Amino acid sequence: MKLLKYLLLLVFFNASAQVGIGTTSPNASSMLDIQSTTKGFLAPRMTTTQKNAISSPTTGLMVYDTDLGKFCYYTGSTWVTMEVDTNSRNNYVLVKSLSDLPTPVGGVITLASGTLYEVNGTINLGTNSINLNGCVLVGADPNSDILSYSGSTGLFSGSGGGQVEFLNIQGGASSKLFNMSDATGTKNFIIRDCYISGFANIGTISGYNFVFINSLNFENNTTGLTFSGNSQLYLNNQIWNASNTGTAFTFTGTSDVISIVGGKIVADSGESGIDVSGDPTVSSGVLQSVSFSGNGTYVVGYTTGTYSGYSFTSDWHVISSGILQETDGNAVGDINLSANVGSGYRTTFSGTGIGSRTKLVGVSTSNNLFRFTKSGDNRIVYDGKRTRNFSISAALSFQGDNSSNIFIFYIAKNGVVVEDTKVYREVGANYDVGALAIVGSMTLSQGDYIEVWAERFSGSGDLLLVSLNLVID
């Protein structure tokens, strides 16, 4: 009888190709259906050494590794641990279609505060704008994770800050990318590692506390991006290619920091790279390691506060290929004076010695000033922000009105003669023209000024200054 039951059970198993444990009706989709409300399934348990010693494990074989405290399965070539995500995010949304985003209100999609939205695939926004509302909007692959926008209001609009990463952002014939303005000056905005293409206008970002834009690649856009009054603005590694037109980046308003570092800007005929003609006020400006090319205008410079032949104010540090270098390290200034022999500019003295020291009189010009400004005659002022050491060299010619007088000439800083620059010269017997050179080295800070002074060492006459040429660099 037992043999008969075994044979019948074997026939049943072979006929149904299913096994049920704890049930007489195994699920039709399973080969093995184990059911219990009081006990679990216990896989083979073994150490790592025992697991690795299994002879010719088949693909899919699973054990519990007691050394690792994890389930492991065999891939056909190696053992792999089965990891469990115990730190899954709250407030996470995977965006595979427009319906995964909040419902637009008045054409604006306002993201739920504190949420990370991950774009997966192509999301066609139509004319709907996005208010980031402090959220993170991210893709995993800028080649395939795409935001497509055809509106003119601005894909990213409103006053909300937030973060955008790793996306391919595509615009339409009349579309704008940014229309962002923070009236409170407290919000932060970050966008990085994105492709930007096809926009009629990249738009405007204004009034933010902190803006960081890193590694954007711009292709086939018509008009660039304007920044206005952002407190701290950092542009790193921007690529503005030849396929774009218009002006790449325009700056206006007041900022603490504007830093543009790395990248490439191509400005072809009729186009511009950097535009600061709106005379932005900035405490610290940096334009460094940006490569400019093309036959257009690389920099549209300040209209006031800059230096002849240069584009920026002394608040900027500029070192980039294709444009003039503008740093405190390039500061240079000069003083030039010329008069006819016999009728030079008279400098009078009261007494002799230290008490007679005075600035040389005469109408002077300055022809080569960078980070220096002319302040009246025989005076130039250092405008640079960085305190640094300068070399000063001067040559002058003079006549005396009393033979055998001896004069001492000095370079003076801030109205005080620098003793170690003194040079003596005696008036000739026939009141001939005396010439001499003065050299010095001194440290200047912003606002310090340089002049040429003289002292009557002996005698009672005055001097006529015929020429003066001073260079500081």
In sequence order, the 6+-apart residues with CB closer than 8 A to the CB of 379 are 335, 359, 449, 450, 451
**What is the pTM for the complete model shown?**
0.79
Residue 282, pLDDT score: 98
pLDDT tens string 288-297: 999 999 999 9
Side-chain-facing half-sphere of 368: CA atoms under 13 Å: 11
Give the position of tokens 């996470």: 92
- Furthest CA-CA distance within the chain: 151
Q: Phi, psi at residue 295, to the nearest 5°?
A: -105, 25
Per-residue pLDDT at 170 exceeds 70: yes
Which of 10-14, 31-35, 391-395, 460-464 has the highest average model confidence (pLDDT)? 391-395
| pLDDT-wise least confident of 19-23, 323-327, 467-471 | 19-23
In sequence order, the 6+-apart residues with CB closer than 8 A to the CB of 313 are 285, 302, 305, 306
pLDDT band at 87 (very low <50, low <70, confident <90, very high): low
Per-residue pLDDT at 4 exceeds 60: no
Of 12 and 117, the one with more pLDDT: 117
Q: How far apart are the first and last CA of the chain?
A: 115
- Cα 202 to Cα 147: distance, rounded to the nearest angstrom: 15
Per-residue pLDDT at 194 exceeds 50: yes
Of 28 and 447, the one with more pLDDT: 447
Residue 3, pLDDT score: 46
Domain boundaries, the chain: 1-40, 42-84, 92-323, 333-472
Side-chain-facing half-sphere of 318: CA atoms under 13 Å: 23
Per the prediction, the chain carries an average pLDDT of 93
Residue 6, pLDDT score: 47
pLDDT tens string 223-247: 999 999 999 999 999 999 999 999 9
Fold of 333-472: Jelly Rolls (2.60.120)
Per-residue pLDDT at 16 exceeds 60: no
